[in-house]
Each structure stands twice: as C-alpha cells, then as structure tokens.
Amino acid sequence: MSKSHILIVLLPVLFGISGCKDKIKKGNNSHMVDSERITFSKIKASNFETEIEGKKVGLYTLKNKNGIEATFTNYGQRLISLYVPDKDGNFDDIVLGFPSLHQYRTAREKYFGATIGRYGNRIAQGKFSIDTVMYTLATNNGSNHLHGGNKGFESVVWDGQQKSNNEIEFYRTSPHMEEGYPGNLSVKVTYRLTDENELIINYKAQTDKKTVLNLTHHSFFNLKGHGNGTINNHRLQINADRFTPVDKDLIPTGELKKVENTPFDFRTLKPIGQDLNSENQQLKYGLGYDHNFVLNTGTKNSDGLSLAAKVVEPETGRTMEVWTNEPGLQFYGGNFLKGEEGKLDKTYDFRGAFCLETQHFPDSPNQASFPSTVLSPHETYKSTCIYKFSVIN
C-alpha cells in the first residue's frame, strides 16, 4: 500500500524577513540553540528547551526570504505557529497553540499542531484484526480508540536534526506493540520551507510486521489569526459528493452518503456556520461538523494530487487550499474547544478554529468496504497533503 508525502505550500508574498540569523547545531536532537530567541509569533525558545525521558526537546524555526515563519517543537512534531500575511500585508499567526512546552503537556486539548499516529481518527472498540490475529488498543475516546491512544505520536519526543535554516528532519521507531499496534515502525518526517513559500512535509514509514497506519497533521486553523473569534464566517468548499455518516460515538456506519440536500454539501463555497442549526442527526452526534468526506479524485494535478478543499476568510482575504492523494478529509469545526488560554493570552473558544485532516477513513481496519490501511513489511508508507495559502482582495 502506498500513500505519498505531505506538502504544505504557501504562495509567494512580497515581504522580507526581519531579525538576525539563528544559530544552528546539527546532529541528533539538535535545534536552534539561542535560548533568548523570540519568534515573530512571540514564542520564546527557552520555554521549550528541556529533557523528557532522556531526550532533548527544543524549538525549531523555519524562515524564508519572503517573511513566512513556521515554528515547531520535536515534542509531538507540533507546528506551534505559522506566520503569514493578509491582503494588506499584515502578518498574523493562524494556528492555535501554547507558548510553552509545559502547557502542551498539561492542556485539555492535546492535539494542537501535532503529528497524529499510529492511527489518526477512531477505531471502534479499540480492536482490529490482521490475518485473523486480534489486536486490542487503548479506549481513550469513550469505548473507542482515538488518534493513536493514550500516548500517541503527539506525546513522544522525536529525534531531530536541523539540516539548514529552511529544513528539519524528525524520526523515531515506534516499537512493536506500542499502544497495542504490531510491528516495529520506522517513521521519518522532513519539513522544508522554500523561497517559493512551500512548507514541504514528507512522511515516510516502514514496518517489520503487518500493521495499520494512518498518519495525519492536526493543526487548528483560524485564518483571521489564532484566538480572533469564531470560524463560522469562513467560507468553505470541500470537493466531495459523499461523506461517511457516523453513529452516536462518531464511528462510521459504513455508508457513503450523498451530501446533496444535506448540511454536508460544501461542493461550492459557503459559510461554515450557514447550516449548523439545521435539524440533522449527524450534526447532533458531532456537536457540529466532525466528519470524514469521501473526496472526488477524478481531476489531478501534475503531481497526482486532487483539490480536497478551499477556505476563504473574507475580512483578511487569507485563502487556504488543501491538496492530497488521500481518499478522505476530516473536517472538524472546533466543537470541543472550551476556552483554554493559548499564545499571547488569547482564549480559544467554541468553534474558534477548524481542522482539515487528509486521511484514510476512520475505522478502516474494521470496514472491509473502505480503502485499506494495512501496511506490510515489503511496502513503504507515504502520504501527501498540501496546505496552499494565498490572499484575495
């Protein structure tokens, strides 16, 4: 089974970078070493520099000559801040997050900006089988398994190497039976920010025993700027004729339901909040949108990717497109945000962000009709997602 690399692309903007060059230390667990450094998004490097279980944690910053800045930590491979311009050339941080490592480790919302694994989304009853062998996972979402378990990829320290001012690499081996998953799984993720404003994230994984795998990226976006109110006025388009309805525990029923004449019809741009108050059982189950869409994949670009979604924020003019070769896209409307305090003392309120996660379908290991997520020892896992940013007037 093959999935491609994740790429995030930021369209060119005519703005320069300010500030001095950061010092770089190369090697395992290396990171920007200037503890007094403060990013454009006001993140202090010293707030992330510590050791967890003998592994160094730090802050990694990628910049290009156009003013784009993306900041990461190797704790969970988290995108902490993403600093991009609006239609007037004003920059803001458009992803939710926290200003210190301590807050990431103690927060109620544990997935901000993280790499999710081994399995993004839900697995029913925390059970699946491969070749008649049953595996049991943690049930950390009611009676179901969510986002890799109690200590998924978002809660571990990755080995890291800062290869240059615009490229970093994270890697680790998830040991056999970690969180109940079979196989020693080797994962490498490379992030590169080009002067063409492409933040390229390459995922690659191999296993020594059959397993299931479904990696994704879990940034919470608000194109007005993090903590700047609801996302319900953002206009959203999803290139999907069908979605996967869920039961009360948000497990897919197995049906591929048409979006036509439902609140899930985003085939043309419409405000996210337009149909939220509709009398619809699926919206009641998710407290809003928290559903997988079955992407239309007929038209592909030169890289074999299809347009999955587009978001337009009318006040700032910021626009985001999502391109992928994955069969599904999880649209989550921030329904479980409960007012945690994030960066710059901003409050992240109910429906104050959205997530668009490219993926295979939830509970695929238990749904024979869904595309398979089984990875065998002779295969290489790859996946591609492009978050492409631009502005409109």
Looking at the DSSP bridge assignments, the partners of residue 330 are 292, 357
In total, the chain counts a number of residues equal to 393
Which of the following is catalytic: 154, 178, 179, 357? 357
pLDDT at 35: 61
Alpha carbons within 13 angstroms on the beta-carbon side of residue 219 total: 22
User: CA torsion angle for 299, 385, 296, 265 (degrees, to 10)?
Assistant: -130
In terms of DSSP bridges, do strands 385-391 and 7-10 run parallel, antiparallel, or are they unpaired? Answer: parallel
Find the range with the poorest average confidence among 122-126, 192-196, 200-204, 229-233: 192-196
Q: Which domains does the chain have, with CATH numbers?
A: 7-232+285-293+321-391 (2.70.98.10)
The pLDDT mean for the chain works out to: 90
Exposed/middle/buried for residue 54 (C-beta within 10 Å: 0-12, 13-18, 19+): exposed
Contact present, 217 and 199 (Cβ < 8 Å): no
The rounded distance, in Å, linking the Cα atoms of 354 and 358 is: 13
> How large is the average pLDDT for residues 81-98?
93
Residue 118: asked if its preceding bond is cis (omega within 30°), the reply is yes
How do residues 27-67 score in pLDDT, each as one tens digit?
A: 444 444 466 778 888 899 999 999 999 999 999 999 988 88
Closest CA to 191 of 44, 6, 22: 6
Q: How open is the CA angle 150-188-205, to the nearest 5 degrees?
A: 80
The rounded distance, in Å, linking the Cα atoms of 100 and 40 is: 15
Q: What percent of the chain has pLDDT over 90?
A: 76
Q: Taking 80 as the threshold, does the pLDDT of residue 89 lie above it?
A: yes
How do residues 226-265 score in pLDDT, each as one tens digit?
A: 999 999 999 999 999 999 999 999 999 999 999 999 999 9
More confidently predicted of 127 and 8: 127
Which of the following is catalytic: 218, 226, 291, 360? 218
Token pair belonging to 236: 């959203």
Token pair belonging to 204: 């690659």
- Tell how far CA 273 is from the center of its chain: 22
How do residues 354-388 score in pLDDT, each as one tens digit?
A: 999 999 999 999 999 999 999 999 999 999 888 88
Token pair belonging to 13: 């903007």
Exposed/middle/buried for residue 322 (C-beta within 10 Å: 0-12, 13-18, 19+): buried
pLDDT at 191: 83
Phi, psi (deg, nearest 5) at residue 189: -130, 125
The rounded distance, in Å, linking the Cα atoms of 329 and 308 is: 7
What three-state secondary structure class fits 344? Answer: helix
- Strands (DSSP E) contained in 245-325 are 257-258, 270-271, 290-295, 306-312, 318-324
The rounded distance, in Å, linking the Cα atoms of 220 and 94 is: 8
The rounded distance, in Å, linking the Cα atoms of 177 and 134 is: 12
How do residues 206-225 score in pLDDT, each as one tens digit?
A: 999 999 999 999 999 999 99
**Active-site residue 218, yes or no?**
yes
What three-state secondary structure class fits 45? Answer: helix
Q: Taking 60 as the threshold, does the pLDDT of residue 390 lie above it?
A: yes
The rounded distance, in Å, linking the Cα atoms of 381 and 119 is: 13
Q: Taking 90 as the threshold, does the pLDDT of residue 337 lie above it?
A: yes
Contact present, 382 and 265 (Cβ < 8 Å): no
pLDDT at 34: 61
pLDDT at 3: 43
Contact present, 99 and 43 (Cβ < 8 Å): yes
**Active-site residue 102, yes or no?**
no
The rounded distance, in Å, linking the Cα atoms of 94 and 348 is: 12
